[in-house]
Chain A
Amino acid sequence: MSAPAPTSPVATDLAIQTSDLVKTYGEGHAAVTALDGVSLEIPAGEFVVLLGPSGSGKTTLLNLIGALEAPTSGSLKAFGSELGELDDDGRTAYRLDSVGFVFQFYNLVPTLTARENVALMAELTGSDAEQRTADVLTAVGLGDRMDHFPSQLSGGEQQRVAIARGIVKHPRLLLCDEPTGALDVETGKQVLGVLRELANGSDRTVVIVTHNAVIGKMADRVIRLRDGSVVDVALNERVGSAEELDW
């Protein structure tokens, strides 16, 4: 059972549109339904928070949106294209062109510096990789830490490198799975601030998965999931800043 999607105050083009989206793992008696008929719309350029307790299906939904997995049934469109019809190469191309990922654990390559970790992704998408790398690292506040290795950076700095890595390709969609899960409150707020900045004034859609309801205060749209279904979609009349948050 999904709640109706309210109209976006920010943009009218849809970044994501799902209809009766189902994802089942396993077969027969062992089958587990992670998503059960999810229908929702995420307009382009919004800062969206997917909220829900453990097992609600929020990470599964994020993985489907990011084409890390294919849906079992239903429709999932990203920027008008049906993702369920893509083969592996198509999904890879979609991720390369349109998606940036940030995970709870930063998963940086420890043998590469901050600059190189970001450049690794930048090189996959054409020229001026060096300039774009420097730009995004500066944008996330690491302009003076670019040549440090991950082991020389704090957790928050490493997560900011991971964000820079996610956005260096200029993706239209930035998907973040519990980006503050491994960070203390202050560092977490800094990271959220960076993410919010990335969405402001651009057509980039940022989707954050979290079980921390407080983070919902800084979203344009909050989508609540429980037991694989969307139970509520809310638009914030007032979008708070990261600094205002506390948990």
Chain B
Amino acid sequence: MSYLNVKRRRDLKRRRWQYGAAALTIFLGVMIFATSYDAYRNLDLSYRGTYDRLAFADVTVTGAQSGFASDVRAIDGVAVVEPRVQADLPMRVNGDKTFIGRMVGMPAGEQPQINRVDVLVGEYLGPDSSRSALAETHMFDHFALQLGDTVEYFDGETWRGLDISGSALSPEYVWPARNAQDVLSLPGSFGVLFVDEGVLDSIPTPLVEEQDLVLYDNDVITEDIDSAVRRAASDANAASVVVLADQPSNKVLQLDVTGFEQMAIAFPVMFLLAAGMATYTLMTRLVYQEREIIGTLRANGLSRREVVRHYLSYGLWLGGISGVLGVVVGMPLGWLSTEAYTAELGIPDTVRGFYWTTIVIGILFGVATGLVSAWVPARSASRLDPAEAMRGDMTAVVGHTSLVERLFPVVRRIPTRWRMVVRGIGRNKRRSFSTVLGVVLALVLIMASWGLIDSMRYLLTRQYTEIQHDDATIIFDSEVSASKVGLVDGVPGVSRAESVLALGVSVKGPDDSYTTQLLGFDATTEMHQFEVPLPDQGVLLGRTLRDQLGLKVGDVATISCTGLDTTFEVPVAGFLSEPLGTFAYMRKDVLTNALAQATPAVAEERLTQPDSTVVMALFDDGADRQSVLDDLGSVPGVASVTDSRELFLLVQDYMGLFYVFVGMMLAFGGLLAFALIFNTMSVNLAERATELATMRANGLSRGQAARLVVWENLLLTIIGIPFGLAAGYWAASVMMASYSSDLFVFDLHFEPLTYLWCALSMIAVTLISLWPGVRAAQRVDIGSIVRQRSM
């Protein structure tokens, strides 16, 4: 059989560009699999490594009554329960910008048993560290802190200073999220200080959260213990229970892990599907061309099995070599991706595993693609009747009027050459399907990434221009009176100021409870635009709570206010679809009344304290933002000023980078489409070479012949585009849905121009794919081709 091997080698060489395109697509599919699958596993292990080493809490319970800790310790699988205190307070660095930071109490002299920290600079808090603090690494880096620098915090009465004794990485803040409502906290707007827990003793009780951290034994089923801990927390009237899966930092990071996992499946599937179709088209053509050879070989004793084996070997070689190369290139890229990612996020434990499963699965992907795509042509080759095949009789293409002409009789009156183009689509349905598939898969790839960016841009624009109108949130250091609101209103550049109730709450429904912020706005507020008017009875909730808490409109939700230590019940008046975070909203007077009737009751005067009331400001159009923010910081009694639109403006600045990402996906999608269109075009031209040459002999010019071929393929691309746009929209919506949670609500949005750009990009890719074929067709030797039989 060695000469059949020579034949295969030469066949592959003869059509090296076509097989090369298919091989490149398999290579890319396997490479992306190896890269993303390894990155996914490495990242997962890297996180787990850090979490395990620093004993990241499996559950964080806030506001539980005494006795909770001992109850939880009794639960099977619970290893450690440790109390902790923390407080969110106004802070400022070097007397400059103010923001709301977080102070987390730690035992002095030794690390806690749960939620330990990695001290990256300096030393851990010593036994006498009541005047010093470890800055969480993001804060340390952002403010370029040095050992000995001072960070001030407002303890409810006065500003106090702490000396920075080092920088620390915490598993809780690998992604520095303040909470589930503010996961995109900017480093300049949020920071964490780890301090001697004694420091928090001097802070007024309402500002301090008492927490119980729970750590499980290794190798336990966490869901079972989670449920038991939740029950105990409920019995202990805990304000909130956050399990590891819902911990904001972990949840955001898991989105990336999930992204890599999805990429490890979806991308290779698309590439391998395209490569399989391209190989199938080529192999089918090869077998058709070699009918007489196959017939002769069969007549001379070659068995069916040997014929199958011969043609399968094309797929085996193609898939095998591409698969091996994909793995060889993909795995190191996976390691590099992991390293780049963990370095960017500052994850100390970078795992770079060597996974045999990646090698095996990757190569299997390649081989399977080659074998599956070659199987049908190989089998049909083996089933040829030798006598018939040797005669070289070709199955005639059966002509018929196209569907378009039947539906639109006017098409029958267009010039014959254009009718030929229209009918060419139905001439070889497999080939047409292949081209359409290439367009569809490429558009899925492009639109999934473009949709993410369009949606993010739209949702942020919606959040910050249609929903959230305030430009700044101001926290005072004492009672927020009408005169203080007036002071803010009087700052040049501020067009309006309103006091807003902002309470940390736990909303409880029949199924679960959820920790969030309850905001009380004036009925005529200009700071926030609601989809429905603020109700005169009841509360509006973010829509993710409908399913999570098991609530529907009209149901009664129980709201526990952590800082005010009170609980009240309120009917659910509606659900809101807001992109960022999941909040609860009430009219300020309705909320005040509800609290007055709560158990225990809260007096209206209590609500004017800065832990309950903030001031929101709206700026004049065209105002110098930084100048107004600076002036607000100088208003007497202001503890902190937060720029509400900083994130929005930052994202606007980075949109160019996001489009680089789209560009990369466009390149990948283009390659994928190129492999299919280039191959189908090559086969198309091979099938029609004699027809075209005969027309050329009779006076059709090169340009006219090229236009006929180009238009036929362009028409297929144009047919594929709506399907591709629909499939791309669907794929993007599935991807968005997988990212949607209580942290973000990703409703898919495409800018109208995006569809146009996607369609134009496909037409451009088609023209590029056609170019080599058209060039080759123009160089053909008409004199020799016209003497051949049409195939």
**Which one of A89, A97, A121 lies within 8 Å of B701 (CB-CB)?**
A89
Give B687-730 as 1s and 0s: 1 = Cβ < 8 Å from A's Cβ atoms: 00011011111111110100000000000000000000000000
As a 0/1 sequence over residues 90 to 115 of chain A, the CB contacts with chain B under 8 angstroms (1 = contact) are 00110111011101110111111100
A120 touches B702 (CB 8 A): no
Contact A111 B415, beta carbon cutoff 8 Å: no
Instruction: For the complex, give the distance between the alpha carbons of A103 and B790 in Å.
Output: 11
On whether A110 and B699 interact (CB within 8 A), knowing A101-B786, A120-B417, A123-B416, the answer reads no
Per-residue CB contact flags for chain B residues 398-430 toward chain A (1 = under 8 Å, else 0) read 111000000000000001110110011011000
CB distance from A103 to the nearest CB of B (A): 5
On chain A, the residues within 8 Å of B396 by CB distance are: 110, 150-151
The one of B427, B696, B782 in contact with A110, judged by C-beta atoms closer than 8 angstroms, is B427
Min CB–CB distance B236 → chain A (angstroms): 79
User: Between A and B, how many residue pairs show CB distances below 8 Å?
Assistant: 111
In the complex, B783 has a CB within 8 A of chain A = yes
Per-residue interface assignment for chain A, residues 173 to 211, with 1 indicating a CB less than 8 Å from any chain B CB and 0 otherwise: 000010000000000000000000000000000000000
Q: Are B783 and A99 in contact (CB under 8 A)?
A: no
- Do A103 and B417 form a contact, CB below 8 Å, given A111-B399, A111-B426? no
Which residues of chain B are within 8 angstroms of A152 by Cβ–Cβ distance?
399
Residue of chain A at shortest CB distance from B424 = A111
Give the distance in Å from the alpha carbon of A165 to the alpha carbon of B420 in the complex.
15
Residue of A nearest to B397 (CB): A110
* Residue from A109, A116, A151 within 8 A of B691 (CB atoms): A109
**Is B483 located at the chain interface by the 8 A CB criterion?**
no
Please give the distance in Å from A198's CB to the nearest CB on chain B: 15
* Contacting residue for A149 out of B399, B786, B788, CB 8 A: B399
| Option from B398, B400, B420, B781 in Cβ contact (under 8 Å) with A116 | B420
B787 an interface residue at 8 Å Cβ cutoff?
Answer: yes
The answer to whether B787 touches A59, judged by C-beta atoms less than 8 angstroms apart, is yes
B697 and A66 within 8 A (CB): yes
B788 and A105 contacting across the interface, CB-CB below 8 Å = yes
Partner of A165, one of B423, B698, B781: B698
A112 with B420, Cβ < 8 A, contacts A95-B698, A151-B397 known? yes
Query: In the complex, what residues of B have CB within 8 A of residue A60's CB?
Result: 783
**Chain A, interface residues (CB within 8 Å), range:** 35 or more
B397 touches A119 (CB 8 A): no
Q: Chain B residues with Cβ under 8 A from A165's Cβ?
A: 698
Interface status of B789 (Cβ within 8 A of chain A) = yes
Complex Cα gap A60–B691 (Å): 20
> Is residue A169 contacting chain B, with contact meaning CB distance below 8 A?
yes
A103 touches B694 (CB 8 A): yes
Q: Does A20 sit at the interface, judged by CB under 8 A?
A: no
Tell me whether A63 is interfacial, beta carbon within 8 Å: yes
Of B398, B416, B699, B783, the residue contacting A112 (CB under 8 A) is B416
Q: Is the CB–CB distance between A88 and B702 below 8 Å?
A: yes
Tell me if B702 and A92 are in contact (CB < 8 A). Answer: yes
Report B-chain residues with C-beta under 8 Å of the C-beta of A63.
783
Q: Could you say which residues of chain A place their CB within 8 Å of the CB of B400?
A: 111, 149
CB distance from B700 to the nearest CB of A (A): 7
Q: Does A68 make an interface contact (CB < 8 A)?
A: yes
Is A86 in the interface zone, CB < 8 Å from B? no
Residues of A within 8 A of B699 (CB): 92-93, 95-97, 99, 121, 124-125, 169
The DSSP consensus for interface residues of chain B is: helix
For A110, what are the chain B residues with a Cβ–Cβ distance below 8 Å?
396-399, 427, 790
A103 touches B399 (CB 8 A): no
Judged by a CB distance under 8 angstroms, whether A166 is at the interface is: yes
User: Which B residues touch A92, using CB under 8 A?
Assistant: 696, 699-702
Instruction: Determine the chain A residues whose CB is within 8 A of the CB of B696 once the complex forms.
Output: 92
Asked if A69 CB lies within 8 Å of chain B CBs, one says yes
Q: Which residue of B lies closest to A168 (CB)?
A: B698
Query: Are the CB atoms of A107 and B415 closer together than 8 Å?
Result: no
Contact B790 A111, beta carbon cutoff 8 Å: no
Q: Which residue of A69, A111, A169 contacts B420 across the interface (Cβ within 8 Å)?
A: A111
Establish whether residues B416 and A116, one from each chain, have CB atoms under 8 Å apart when the complex forms.
Answer: yes
The interface centre, meaning the residue of B397, B694, B788 with most chain A CB atoms within 10 A of its CB, is B694
Q: CA of A93 to CA of B701 in the docked complex: distance in angstroms?
A: 8
Q: How far is the CB of A142 from chain B (nearest CB, A)?
A: 16
Interface centre among A60, A120, A123 (most CB of B within 10 A): A120
- Contact A120 to B416, CB < 8 A, known contacts A95-B698, A111-B423: yes
Smallest distance from the beta carbon of B715 to chain A beta carbons, Å? 13
Q: How far is it, in angstroms, between the C-alpha of A119 and the C-alpha of B787 when the chains are bound?
A: 22
Contact between A107 and B398 (Cβ–Cβ < 8 Å)? no
Set A103, A112, A166: member contacting B787, Cβ < 8 A: A103
Chain A residues 137 to 157 lying within 8 A of chain B, measured CB to CB, are 149-152
**In the complex, what's the smallest C-beta–C-beta distance from B702 to chain A, in angstroms?**
7
With contacts A95-B698, A107-B691 taken as known, whether A177 is within 8 angstroms of B398 at the C-beta atoms is no
Bound state CA distance, A150 and B476, in angstroms?
Answer: 89
Contact B786–A103 (Cβ < 8 Å): yes
Q: How near does chain A come to B713, taking the closest CB pair, in angstroms?
A: 15
- From the candidates B398, B426, B695, name the one contacting A120 in the complex (CB within 8 A): B695
| A129, closest chain B residue (CB) | B416
Interfacial chain B residues near A105, Cβ < 8 Å: 690, 787-790
Kindly provide the distance from the CB of B789 to the nearest chain A CB, expressed in whole angstroms.
Answer: 4
How far, in whole Å, are A166 and B700 apart by their CA atoms in the complex?
A: 12
List, in ascending order, chain A residues with CB within 8 A of B690's CB.
Answer: 105, 107
Report how far A111 CA is from B704 CA in the complex, Å. Answer: 18
Interchain CB contact under 8 A, A124 and B786: no
* Complex CA distance for A177 and B789, rounded to whole angstroms: 13
Residues of B360-398 whose CB lies within 8 A of A: 396-398
- Within the complex, the shortest CB–CB distance from B423 to chain A, in Å, comes to 4
B635-683 CB contacts (< 8 Å) to partner A: none
Assuming the contacts A68-B783, A69-B783, A111-B427, asked whether A101 and B697 have C-beta atoms less than 8 A apart, the reply is: yes
Determine if A112 and B423 form an interchain contact, defined as CB atoms under 8 angstroms apart.
yes
B424, B695, B697 interface centre (most CB from chain A within 10 Å): B697
Asked whether A116 lies within 8 Å of B419 as measured between CB atoms, the reply is yes
The 8 Å CB contact of A150, one of B399, B426, B782, is B399
Tell me the nearest residue of chain B to A124, going by C-beta: B699
- Cα A101 to Cα B706 in complex, Å, equals 20
Cα A93 to Cα B703 with chains together (Å): 13
Q: When chains A and B are docked, how far (Å) is the Cα of A244 from the Cα of B398?
A: 36
How many angstroms from the CA of A150 to the CA of B695 in the assembled complex? 16
A121 to B405, CA, bound (A): 21
Q: Which residues of A contact B415 (CB under 8 A)?
A: 123
A107 touches B694 (CB 8 A): yes
Q: In the complex the two chains form, what is the Cα distance from A155 to B691 in whole Å?
A: 16
Residue of B nearest to A122 (CB): B416
**Pairs across A and B, CB under 8 Å, 19 listed:** A89-B701, A92-B696, A93-B699, A96-B699, A96-B700, A99-B697, A105-B787, A108-B790, A111-B400, A111-B423, A111-B427, A121-B699, A121-B700, A123-B417, A149-B399, A149-B400, A150-B396, A151-B396, A151-B399
A88-B702, A116-B420 known; 11 other A-B pairs, CB under 8 Å? A68-B697, A69-B781, A92-B700, A95-B699, A96-B698, A107-B691, A111-B420, A111-B424, A112-B399, A112-B420, A121-B695
**List of 9 A-B pairs having minimum Cβ-Cβ separation, nearest first:** A96-B699, A149-B399, A110-B397, A111-B423, A63-B783, A68-B783, A107-B694, A105-B789, A151-B396
